[in-house]
Amino acid sequence: MKGDVKVVLITGGSSGIGGAAARLMCDAGMTVYAASRSGKAPEGYSEGKHMHPVVMDVNDATAVATVVDRIISEQGRLDAVVCNAGNGIAGPVEETSIEEVEAQFRTTFYGVVKTIDACLPIFRKQGHGRVVTVSSVAAVAPLPYQGFYSAVKAGILNLTKALAIETKDFGIQCCSVMPGDVKTGFTAARKVAVKAQDADSPYFLKTLKGLEAMTKDEVNGMKPEVIGRAIVRQLRRRRMKPEVTPTFIYSLLVWAIRRFPQSFVLRIIGKMYS
Ligand SMILES: NC(=O)c1ccc[n+]([C@@H]2O[C@H](COP(=O)([O-])OP(=O)(O)OC[C@H]3O[C@@H](n4cnc5c(N)ncnc54)[C@H](OP(=O)(O)O)[C@@H]3O)[C@@H](O)[C@H]2O)c1
């Protein structure tokens, strides 16, 4: 049936949330192109009829276009793209260099834009297609010492919703998934702004305390399969929701953050992380 999701491209599909989503999509009978810089298959899976691990750096628009062309020539269709690849750079706003800010936006924002750009012409031509982006609860919860990460994820969330409006008449649906804390390689891969690591920095101790608290939350976080299942659920719905926050507790948190006075919200977040 038109609109059924049979062929999916997922970025960051080798491990973590993307790896779990790729496995679950494959198990659900979808043909999955799991893209990453390493090109590794998600754990426990190997190249096969329904699982295609591919080397693709989302920062390289040509590489993304090549993979999309390959999918069309092999499958004759691309039904959905899951823009998941991302990373984190921590540091107080004042002590994060512009190069570090740009690095935060490179993969996690521009990488998403490049991936979406390569898929939209195909989706429009087909008259159907789905865009799923992986944002974060940090999009609505302004995380101190991860302000640029919060900014990127807020950008992704709003971009996805704006895109949903722009592309609706072409038969394209868009959904942003907002995970809370998830136990993945994301925590170990997170970089810290160089200036904030200097013991003379006025933010040194606060950054350390904030990062310790966030790291603890992440290593005790959900399994990536929880988010993978939420992604698959949206891909199987006739109409995707524009925004999804997996688990009741995190959706309640997002609801509360949006409804409570912001001065109160900032006070609570400050007590937790600063
Ligand atoms: N973990 C959390 O608590 C959490 C919470 C909310 C949102 N998120 C978001 O969830 C997404 C996935 O994070 P994760 O926790 O699963 O992280 P992860 O375990 O570090 O996995 C990241 C994945 O992205 C790939 N990747 C990194 N840079 C890439 C690039 N330039 N091009 C293509 N692939 C790239 C990695 O493979 P290679 O290294 O082989 O490229 C890997 O497959 C991110 O957008 C993150 O911001 C995570």
Q: Which of 14, 36, 136, 201 is catalytic?
A: 14
Any idea where the domains of the chain sit in the sequence? 7-273
The whole-angstrom separation of Cα 191 and Cα 108 is 13
Quote the ligand 1 centre to 84 CA distance (angstroms).
Answer: 6
In the chain, beta strands by DSSP E:
7-11, 31-36, 51-55, 80-83, 89-90, 129-134, 172-177, 191-192, 243-244
Collect the ranges in the chain with pLDDT lower than 70. 1-2
**For ligand 1, what atom is nearest to the CA of residue 37?**
41
Active site includes 14? Answer: yes
Is the CB of 42 within 6 Å of ligand 1? no
Quote the ligand 1 centre to 112 CA distance (angstroms).
Answer: 12
Could you read off the pLDDT of 82-119 as tens digits, one per residue?
999 999 999 999 999 999 999 999 999 999 999 999 99
Is the CB of 186 within 6 Å of ligand 1? yes
In 3D space, the residue among 110, 111, 11, 115 whose CA is nearest the CA of residue 53 turns out to be: 11
Is residue 200 a contact partner of residue 185, using CB atoms and an 8 Å limit?
Answer: no
The whole-angstrom separation of Cα 222 and Cα 179 is 9
Q: Which of 33, 45, 145, 149 is catalytic?
A: 149
pLDDT (0 to 100) of residue 2:
64
In 3D space, the residue among 122, 131, 23 whose CA is nearest the CA of residue 68 turns out to be: 122
Is residue 111 a contact partner of residue 37, using CB atoms and an 8 Å limit?
Answer: no
The domain 7-273 having CATH identifier 3.40.50.720: the answer here is yes
Is the CB of 84 within 6 Å of ligand 1? yes
Could you read off the pLDDT of 130-140 as tens digits, one per residue?
999 999 999 99
Paired strand residues for 133: 83, 176
Is the CB of 14 within 6 Å of ligand 1? yes
Active site includes 153? Answer: yes
pLDDT (0 to 100) of residue 3:
73
